[in-house]
């Protein structure tokens, strides 16, 4: 009987002490920057410089029509409609870095950080490694990582932005 009392006492003591131990991991600070402000940062990073070489490809007419529809829906606040139009454009021309980037930006506005980064990374793989579009890709990746609290990874993406700028040819 004494032995039973002792083991119950020890068990209850261990449980009481276990309740005092904190098992919560440190919480990453959450970045509460609104999606529209994140997109503004992407726009700012892209910039536009008259001295920079910027090559634009010819596009399929159906893809252009869908991009125009998406832009109108985005401006009207219909992000789901804009995403759907751009998804259709990607079915026609899945390797178009500009359409991938536009879709990534809609995902950014929808606060779908992982999708925004995935699309922007695919655009980086398929697109030009220089110019405003390249900077948009990396700025989108940076903003997606910042939104998820991945500071170190965001710094890495930000470092890539500068490498996208190649001055145009100076003609005298």
pLDDT at residue 62, as a whole number: 86
Return per-residue pLDDT of the chain as tens, 172 residues.
565 565 555 555 555 555 555 545 544 556 788 998 998 889 888 886 555 666 666 677 889 999 999 999 999 999 999 999 999 999 998 889 999 999 999 999 999 999 999 999 999 999 988 889 999 999 999 999 999 999 999 999 999 998 888 766 677 7
Residue 118, phi then psi, degrees to nearest 5:
-60, -45
Report angle CA 151, 154, 157 to the nearest 5 degrees: 160
Q: Model's pTM, two decimal places?
A: 0.77
In angstroms, the CA 19 to CA 77 distance is: 49
pLDDT at residue 27, as a whole number: 47
Cβ–Cβ under 8 Å, residues 86 and 102 = yes
Cβ–Cβ under 8 Å, residues 153 and 168 = no
pLDDT at residue 162, as a whole number: 87
The CA distances from residue 160 to 44, 69, 80, 129, 142, in Å, are: 15, 31, 30, 10, 9
Question: 104 Cβ partners below 8 Å, 6+ apart?
Answer: 115, 116, 117, 118, 119, 120, 123, 137, 140
pLDDT at residue 98, as a whole number: 93
Instruction: At 75, list the tokens.
Output: 């401006």
Residue 167, phi then psi, degrees to nearest 5:
-65, 150
């Amino acid at each position: 009987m004494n032995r039973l009392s002792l083991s119950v006492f020890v068990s209850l003591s261990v449980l009481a002490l276990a309740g005092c131990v904190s098992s919560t991991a440190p919480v990453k600070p959450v970045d509460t920057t609104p999606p529209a402000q994140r997109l503004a940062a992407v726009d700012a990073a892209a910039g536009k410089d008259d001295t920079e070489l910027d090559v634009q490809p010819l596009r399929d007419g159906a893809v252009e029509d869908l991009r125009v529809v998406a832009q109108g829906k985005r401006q009207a606040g219909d992000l789901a409609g804009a995403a759907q139009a751009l998804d259709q454009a990607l079915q026609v021309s899945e390797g178009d870095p500009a359409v991938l980037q536009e879709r990534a930006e809609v995902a950014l506005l929808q606060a779908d950080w992982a999708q925004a980064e995935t699309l922007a990374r695919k655009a980086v793989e398929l697109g030009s490694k220089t110019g405003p579009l390249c900077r948009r890709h990396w700025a989108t990746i940076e903003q997606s990582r910042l939104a998820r609290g991945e500071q170190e990874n965001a710094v890495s993406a930000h470092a890539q932005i500068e490498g996208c700028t190649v001055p145009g040819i100076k003609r005298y």
